[in-house]
């Protein structure tokens, strides 16, 4: 079923099938539609390792992407939430 907020349905479905959340799949699909798939794929992997970040850095990243319940999460829970968002 087409969704007007998703600009690249094919990419969205592929990302969802790989286990990403709806929000993450939508971000990836819309970026691919706006900038081109090759540009988006080249950008991947630039993020530092979550285990090397402090809890404050993880919290800031979780706040930026809108992870709910982040204020009561431990460092391990923040890492898990960010990976699954």
**Coil, strand or helix: which one is 59?**
helix
pLDDT at 70: 94
> CB of 81 within 8 A of CB of 62?
yes
- pLDDT tens digit sequence for 33-50: 767 766 666 665 555 688
The stretches in the chain having pLDDT less than 70 are 1-4, 34, 37-48
Task: Specify the pLDDT at position 45.
Answer: 57
- Whether the full predicted model's pTM is greater than 0.85, yes or no, is no
Element spanning 65, H or E: helix 55-65
């Amino acid at each position: 079923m087409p969704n007007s907020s998703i600009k690249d349905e094919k990419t969205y479905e592929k990302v969802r099938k790989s286990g990403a959340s709806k929000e993450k799949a939508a971000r990836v699909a819309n970026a691919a539609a706006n900038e081109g798939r090759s540009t988006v794929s080249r950008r991947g992997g630039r993020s530092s390792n979550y285990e090397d970040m402090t809890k404050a850095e993880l919290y800031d990243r979780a706040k930026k992407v809108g992870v709910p319940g982040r204020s009561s999460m431990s460092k391990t829970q923040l890492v898990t939430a960010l990976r699954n968002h």
